[in-house]
Amino acid sequence: MKIALAQLNYHIGNFEANTNKIISTIKEAQANAADLVVFAELCISGYPARDFLEFTEFIALCDASAKQIASVCQDIACIIGLPTVNSSPEGKDLYNSAYFLENGTVKAVANKALLPNYDVFDEYRYFEPATDFHCIDFKGQRIALTICEDLWNNIDDPLYRTRPMDVLIQQRPDLMINIAASPFAVNHDQERMEVLSYNAKKYHLPLLYVNHIGAQTELIFDGGSMVYDAKGQIVDELDYFKEQVAYYNIEKIGVKEVSIQGEKPFTPDVSRMAKIEQIHQALILGIRDYFKKSGFTKATLGLSGGIDSALVCVLACGALGAENVMAVLLPSAYSSDHSIKDAEDLVKNLGCMSQTVAIKAITNSFENALEPQFAGLPFNIAEENIQSRSRAVILMAMCNKFGYILLNTSNKSEAAVGYGTLYGDMCGGISVLGDVYKTQVYELANHINREKEIIPQNSIVKPPSAELRPGQKDSDSLPEYDVLDRILKEYIEFRKSSTSIIAAGFEEAVVRKVIRLVNISEHKRYQTPPILRVSAKAFGMGRRMPIVGKYLS
């Protein structure tokens, strides 16, 4: 049997585009003599559809798309993912389902049993967990079909009480197929590989796994669809961050075997990306899809001459084309000459559009207007923030006038401790670096400059500064970033208490200050743009903290 894995980029609620893409792929697979083509979890609707799933029409359109796809499944079968109606009055109204389509009809249905309800996942809000599990017979072979998380309950501390494969294996399947919507995070690819290999070895079956690629606002899907043999050895791994269709021969001759159609043996250590390159590609894909799927083409950002805005500008040019990026230089009374030159040099290196709008007169106007109220009071954060908010007014005016989308340039370290101005440098349509620590920003900048200087070296080596007062440096308010980021990672990603972090050797006063800043800045993060997620614990939908909580504050 020849099976095609279709790793594609879907658009939430764009039924026409999703359906046409699936049908086109089925026809391509049919031309390549495939017997079965496998698509990803919830490919019809896109993932995550969230509260669109509460609209009856949305579910009806999913069903209509499935029927249209079924009509072209003649002399070929396919597996698609979609939400379906739970006909029983008990439980949730929907299932997260996989259809097996053959000869114009739905031959079989597999419903997802293990519904993740942690971090960015919220499936139990919408779906009823499956309780029946049945293999599917096709072309003389028996398929154990599961959906994403259904294969993930094999860790030492399982989240669920059941394992669908423990039931399906009793029906003596010949192979496993798992369709998934597994978002990108650094190191998650390795975790996936371990889980899939474990299942193939445990059940002594070949395993074919297909994932989404593409970005859906915050969530980025990296692909990396894989095939394992019955010994748990990887046979093939599809490209990351790219659409791809690949073909495999499944043979049943005494032992169950899988081979790549017309390809050389797979060498995973050679072909897989370094972690920093994965982050780089993920951010470019995140920007590109946010614009494409929102119907926008042109981006703008404030270019300060610092490393954060320089990196965002490079990523935006890579995602959208330099001709579609407007870098706006917004020098204040405290901007240094070298910062302006660094920004101008970057624009020259990239070839993007640029404008310069000095804000000194604008901030003076605000300060003059407030002179009666501020009379006799010293210069402080109020005047600093007026500068940042003046920049935001200019950038948003340009967005309104020219149809740009503003890219936010704040990094995760700043967002964590509230080192940014609400309604100033924290505004934007999408936050590109909001899940990238400052130390990772430097790593990305050096990665981008690995062959030639794109980001001016001075932007990388100079002490970071918001330049909102004379001689200001980030280190005046914060610990050095290599220390700060290690504390933040322990607290945010590993959920360590202050006591545990201090016991690990960090200075007590610094730890308590940092954690307090993280907690009292929660109200700011509630009002920031969506953040492209590249870590296992990003700010936004995957980290839910009370604004008024007292614990650790």
In what helix (H) or strand (E) does residue 148 lie, and over which residues does it extend?
A: none
Distance of CA 356 to the CA centre of its chain: 33
Closest C-alpha among 319, 266, 330, 313 to residue 291 = 319
Strand-pair category, 219-222 with 213-216: antiparallel
Neighbour-count burial for 498-526, b at 16+ CB within 10 Å, e otherwise: beebbeeebeeebbbebbebbbebbebbe
Q: What is the pLDDT of residue 259?
A: 65
The CA dihedral of 367, 371, 373, 378, to the nearest 10 degrees, is: 80
Neighbour-count burial for 26-63, b at 16+ CB within 10 Å, e otherwise: beebbeeebbbbbbbbbbbbbbbbeebbeeeebbebbe
- Classify the C-alpha dihedral 416-419-420-422 as positive or negative: positive
For 360-391, give the secondary structure using H, E and C.
HHHHHHHHHHCHHHHCCCCCCHHHHHHHHHHH
Q: Which domains occur in the chain, in start order?
A: 2-266 (3.60.110.10), 277-475 (3.40.50.620)
Binding residues for L-glutamine: 118, 182
Strand-pair category, 430-431 with 219-222: unpaired
What is the spatial order of strands in the sheet that 141-147 belongs to?
136-138, 141-147, 175-179, 207-210, 226-228, 234-237
Tell me which residues are annotated as active site: 41, 112, 148
At a CB cut-off of 8 Å and minimum separation 6, what does 73 contact?
26, 101, 102, 103, 104
At a CB cut-off of 8 Å and minimum separation 6, what does 364 contact?
none
Alpha carbons 266 and 259: distance in angstroms, whole number: 10
Residue 229, token pair as written in the block: 């043999």
Give the three-state DSSP class for 529.
coil
Tens-binned pLDDT, residue by residue, of the chain (553 aa): 999 999 999 999 999 999 999 999 999 999 999 999 999 999 999 999 999 999 999 999 999 999 999 999 999 999 999 999 999 999 999 999 999 999 999 999 999 999 999 999 999 999 999 999 999 999 999 999 999 999 987 666 677 788 999 999 999 999 999 999 999 999 899 999 999 999 999 999 999 999 999 999 999 999 999 999 999 999 999 999 999 999 999 886 544 566 665 555 555 554 568 899 999 999 999 999 999 999 999 999 999 999 999 999 999 999 999 999 999 999 987 766 688 999 999 999 999 999 999 999 999 999 999 999 999 999 998 999 999 999 999 999 999 999 999 999 999 999 999 999 999 999 999 999 999 999 999 999 999 999 999 999 999 998 877 666 676 777 777 899 999 999 999 999 999 999 999 999 999 999 999 999 999 999 999 999 999 999 999 999 999 988 888 776 6
Residue 273, token pair as written in the block: 């990306």
**In 102-244, which residue ranges form alpha helices assigned H by DSSP?**
164-168, 188-203
Q: What is the pLDDT of residue 429?
A: 97
Q: What is the pLDDT of residue 254?
A: 43
Binding residues: 118, 182, 302-309, 385, 409, 414, 524
Q: How many helices (H) and strands (E) does the chain have?
A: 18, 20
* CB contact at 8 A, 95 and 81: no
Q: What is the pLDDT of residue 43?
A: 98
Binding residues for ATP: 302-309, 409
